Structure 1
Amino acid sequence: MIAPVDLVPGQLLGRYELLIAIAQGGMGTVWAARERGGAAGDKIVAVKTMLPALSSDPRCKRMFLTESRIAARIKHPNVCAILDQGEQSGVLYFVMEWIDGDALVALQGGSTRKQGRPLPLPVAVRIAIEAARGLHAAHELRDEDGALVGLVHRDVSPHNILITRDGTVKIADFGVAKAVAQADNPTTNTGHMKGKILFMAPEQVYSEQLDRRSDIFALGIVLYQLTTGTHPFAASHDLATMARIARPEPVDPPSSLAPGYPPALEAAVMRALAKDPAERFATMAELADALEAVNATLGGRPEEVTGYIRDALAARTSRRAVVIKDALRAADGRSRGRPSSRLDPRRRARTIATAAALVASGALLGAATLLWIGLGEGPAAQQIVEVPAAPPLTEEPRPRSAAAEPRAPEPPPAPAPSTSPATPPSSAPAAAASPGPPRPPRAPAETGRARFREPGF
């Protein structure tokens, strides 16, 4: 399951209503949510919550709150904005702008380890340039006295490089970022490696001191893979991958995999991937400038790059929009005090097919649960149990009197379910219905007579 057991769709964290869990990282779960009562009206945001197992750790709690406050100060068009943070009932969370797009990994076919087709060079270089600009803004963040904070992302990877439908790159998830200059804990605890192994720098493998050049190495890996279709260090298992990263020998040049690789681009990639930090670019701005010079020779027009990204992400973003729309519909039903109406069979089939496609493509972690709830009730189906409706009544609602006694006794409202997962509405046991011969299917107008129970939270 993606969602922590204590959080369900419809729950409020501050003024943010959780809609559906969309991803889980090393520190928490990301939810699509909507802000209620904001100045601009209800709007969709992304809410990241700390995993319950970490919330009880004072060190993790302090890191989470510190990092979200630091990240909220980064103001740059290539950084996903942090809008708010808070704590409620032991749940730590921060709120990010909602990105109408997808992660870079989607353009790679959903995998960062397997060999794939390289992206067109103008597209790959433009993505790397914008990612470098956003990371440089984070690295240059200063405190009130004008001193560098020392922020390092530590987890630069295709999963944390988001791309909007218009082609804008956004660096997201400073979930393992660390202000290395903070007085109370100047370094990450020795022996605790933070970040995805495939995108670690050698000094990160050795748990040594990190700085902005560690992020440059990680972005170099991303660019190498985008332009060759091959990861420079990936091996059959993590230890072998770490050994390849830690070796002092330089990586194989991209031209050995892609004949005709531009020499200037190869020089930039190889410098970013230097095993010795002193031999890399000193700043992300230097890397971005070098790539701008390369980009000028590639001849790709901005509108062509944008068009490629828009077309590549169109199907995925459209499917996600359907999921969010259904989640909003379910939320509206909850706000009116009743669950959302069932989908008609044709739309239900289309929704199930959509969820299946999302699972197959990896666009939405945990979308497998949508297959059994069918999005007929939207995310609310995770906490709603449908009780079979009583037989249609032709007279006025009967009072509890002797005149009604000859009828077969109707079961009382369903008691609270056990702690086992709720049975999908489509498979509610027949024993729960009143005894008697099977009734014909109800007309659509009768659907609203079914009774539901929503557990409190």
Structure 2
Amino acid sequence: MSRYELLERIGAGGMAEIFRGKAIAAGGFEKPVAIKRILPHLSQDQRFVELLMGEAKILANLRHRNIVQIYDVGLADDGQYFLVMEYVDGTDVGELFEYLEKEKRRVPLDVALHLAAEVCEALDHAHRATDEDGRLIRLVHRDVSPSNILLSVSGEVKLTDFGIAKSIEEATGHGGVRGKFAYISPEQARNVHVDGRSDAYSLGIVLYELITGTRLYSGLADFDALTAVRSPRVVHLRKARADVPEELDRIVARALDPNPDQRYKTAAELGNALRGFRYSMDETSGDPAKAISNLVKDVWRDVAFDDDERTVMREIPRRPSKSMQAPVIPFEDEETRAISLLADDKRSFTLST
């Protein structure tokens, strides 16, 4: 019986492509879903199958409102494995950045703090996740970046793309440097021991950019950015935005301390600091979810889509800007390769399981 229908291809990256689709069941039941599968010319390569299945196994242990959920794993008639995932109708922080830069706007300060604190909750859940036997997985996302933070039209914030996530033991000293260079921690850039503090550092960069409206590593080519990240300077918000309160400047500076031992010990601790400061603010935008919803609608209006042609969230960004692309530094046991993004393909067909 056909259970999933692909409606249109909405994104592609170096390993996989994403489709907007729907789940079909008895009685006319239908549910919007996102379907992720390996690119056709890589689908017979066992390394990529293992990466996709590895992501599925990770997501199966992560059940949280701020993490994109997995519903199913299937095998199509053509022998390709695919993941059926939560469909998020909205945009991502990377696309929001592009819109705000063009409009010369910034995210309201309290909304930026709420957004980052929500991602902290997702990271805290992932860092404390256990396997089916109750053992701590000690997961590190390794790619916390604007394109992997999704914003729904209802104001939700969701972390996605655990495709290169690893346990702490697996993530240390194996393979190449992964993640988008402008958003990785110094220790990740040096390919040494990483833990949850590395993910929190990456989120700190995103928060810095949300608050200041500027890129921390703007204008640097990939390998120049990697060099800068390996030996970063101490970052202060007030140098880029003078009206930022000193307490918030201290919070973000601690999150971005080059020394992991000087940072917040956990994502939860960082999130508590951000929420605490937000609650102390004299003026806010009111309901942060409504404010995020309005920002998503602003992005939609900017791309001139009507209500029936709204943008659809994707697990892999449609066309990342140069500052957000992340080629992998090759090591002997390299497991992925870079390929060009493919043109959009809006065909409809059915996957059977």
TM over 0.5, shorter chain: yes
Q: CA deviation at 1:235?
A: 3.5
The letter of the residue matching 2:81 is L
Contact 1:116–1:230 (CA<8 Å) still a contact in 2?
no
The yes-or-no answer on 1:95 pairing with 2:78 is no
- Flag the 1:110–1:314 CA change in 2: closer, same or farther, 3 A: closer
Paired with 1:296 and 1:250, the residues of 2 have a C-alpha distance of: 26
> What CA deviation, in whole Å up to 9, does each residue of 1:115-166 have, x standing for no partner?
9643110110010010110111111101233321021111111111111122
- Which residue of structure 1 lines up, in the alignment, with residue 199 of structure 2? 215
- Which residue of structure 1 lines up, in the alignment, with residue 12 of structure 2? 24
Give unmatched runs, 5+ long, in structure 1.
1-11, 326-357, 371-378, 384-457
Q: CA deviation at 1:248?
A: 4.9
Contact 2:151–2:296 (CA<8 Å) still a contact in 1?
no
Q: Which one of the candidate residues 150, 154, 157 is aligned to 1:166?
A: 154
Structure 1 residue matching 2:117: 3-state secondary structure: helix
Paired with 2:104 and 2:175, the residues of 1 have a C-alpha distance of: 33
- Flag the 1:115–1:122 CA change in 2: closer, same or farther, 3 A: same
- Flag the 1:202–1:173 CA change in 2: closer, same or farther, 3 A: same
Matches within 5 A, 1:94-173: 94-109=83-98, 117-173=105-161
> What CA deviation, in whole Å up to 9, does each residue of 1:154-213 have, x standing for no partner?
1111111111122111111112212345xxxx3467341221111111122112232111
Contact 1:250–1:274 (CA<8 Å) still a contact in 2?
yes
Paired with 1:85 and 1:265, the residues of 2 have a C-alpha distance of: 43
- Flag the 1:99–1:257 CA change in 2: closer, same or farther, 3 A: same
Structure 2 residue matching 1:122: 3-state secondary structure: helix
Q: CA deviation at 1:267?
A: 1.2
Provide the TM-score with structure 2 as the length reference: 0.80
Structure 2 residue matching 1:109: 3-state secondary structure: helix
> What CA deviation, in whole Å up to 9, does each residue of 1:333-373 have, x standing for no partner?
xxxxxxxxxxxxxxxxxxxxxxxxx99x9xxxx99869xxx
Structure 1 residue matching 2:204: 3-state secondary structure: helix
The letter of the residue matching 2:254 is R
The yes-or-no answer on 1:227 pairing with 2:211 is yes
Q: Which one of the candidate residues 147, 150, 165 is aligned to 1:177?
A: 165
How many residues align structurally?
Answer: 319
Contact 2:51–2:163 (CA<8 Å) still a contact in 1?
no
> What CA deviation, in whole Å up to 9, does each residue of 1:252-286 have, x standing for no partner?
x1101101211221111111111122221111100
Contact 1:115–1:230 (CA<8 Å) still a contact in 2?
no
- Flag the 1:106–1:214 CA change in 2: closer, same or farther, 3 A: same
Q: Which one of the candidate residues 61, 68, 71 is aligned to 2:56?
A: 68
Paired with 1:228 and 1:75, the residues of 2 have a C-alpha distance of: 32
Paired with 2:26 and 2:140, the residues of 1 have a C-alpha distance of: 32
- Which residue of structure 2 lines up, in the alignment, with residue 298 of structure 1? 281
Give unmatched runs, 5+ long, in structure 2.
312-317, 322-340
Paired with 1:31 and 1:21, the residues of 2 have a C-alpha distance of: 4
Contact 1:118–1:225 (CA<8 Å) still a contact in 2?
no
Q: Which one of the candidate residues 221, 226, 245 is aligned to 1:262?
A: 245
Paired with 1:30 and 1:98, the residues of 2 have a C-alpha distance of: 11
Structure 2 residue matching 1:15: 3-state secondary structure: strand
Structure 2 residue matching 1:18: 3-state secondary structure: strand
The letter of the residue matching 1:292 is R
Contact 2:38–2:48 (CA<8 Å) still a contact in 1?
no
Paired with 1:98 and 1:180, the residues of 2 have a C-alpha distance of: 29
- Flag the 1:316–1:19 CA change in 2: closer, same or farther, 3 A: farther
- Which residue of structure 2 lines up, in the alignment, with residue 243 of structure 1? 227
Contact 1:18–1:32 (CA<8 Å) still a contact in 2?
yes
- Flag the 1:111–1:71 CA change in 2: closer, same or farther, 3 A: farther
The yes-or-no answer on 1:322 pairing with 2:308 is yes
Q: CA deviation at 1:25?
A: 3.0
Q: CA deviation at 1:315?
A: 5.1
Structure 1 residue matching 2:226: 3-state secondary structure: helix
Structure 2 residue matching 1:287: 3-state secondary structure: helix
Structure 1 residue matching 2:146: 3-state secondary structure: coil
Paired with 1:244 and 1:115, the residues of 2 have a C-alpha distance of: 29
Contact 2:16–2:38 (CA<8 Å) still a contact in 1?
yes
> What CA deviation, in whole Å up to 9, does each residue of 1:230-265 have, x standing for no partner?
1222343111111111115323x1101101211221
Higher RCO (C-alpha 8 Å, min separation 6): 2
Paired with 1:144 and 1:70, the residues of 2 have a C-alpha distance of: 11
Contact 2:129–2:138 (CA<8 Å) still a contact in 1?
yes
Provide the TM-score with structure 1 as the length reference: 0.63
> What CA deviation, in whole Å up to 9, does each residue of 1:297-318 have, x standing for no partner?
2245574433332222225557
- Flag the 1:213–1:369 CA change in 2: closer, same or farther, 3 A: closer
Q: CA deviation at 1:323?
A: 3.1
- Flag the 1:43–1:316 CA change in 2: closer, same or farther, 3 A: farther
- Which residue of structure 2 lines up, in the alignment, with residue 441 of structure 1? none
Structure 2 residue matching 1:95: 3-state secondary structure: strand
> What CA deviation, in whole Å up to 9, does each residue of 1:51-72 have, x standing for no partner?
2344333333223212212212
What RMSD over aligned residues (CA atoms) do the two structures have, in Å? Answer: 3.1
Structure 2 residue matching 1:108: 3-state secondary structure: helix
Paired with 1:38 and 1:160, the residues of 2 have a C-alpha distance of: 34
Q: CA deviation at 1:37?
A: 1.2
Paired with 2:164 and 2:33, the residues of 1 have a C-alpha distance of: 21
> What CA deviation, in whole Å up to 9, does each residue of 1:349-407 have, x standing for no partner?
xxxxxxxxx99x9xxxx99869xxxxxxxx44x89xxxxxxxxxxxxxxxxxxxxxxxx
Q: Which one of the candidate residues 174, 178, 187 is aligned to 1:194?
A: 178
Paired with 2:140 and 2:104, the residues of 1 have a C-alpha distance of: 29
- The structure with the larger Rg is 1
Moved more, 229-238 or 131-140: 229-238
Matches within 5 A, 1:391-430: none
- Percent identical pairs in the alignment equals 34
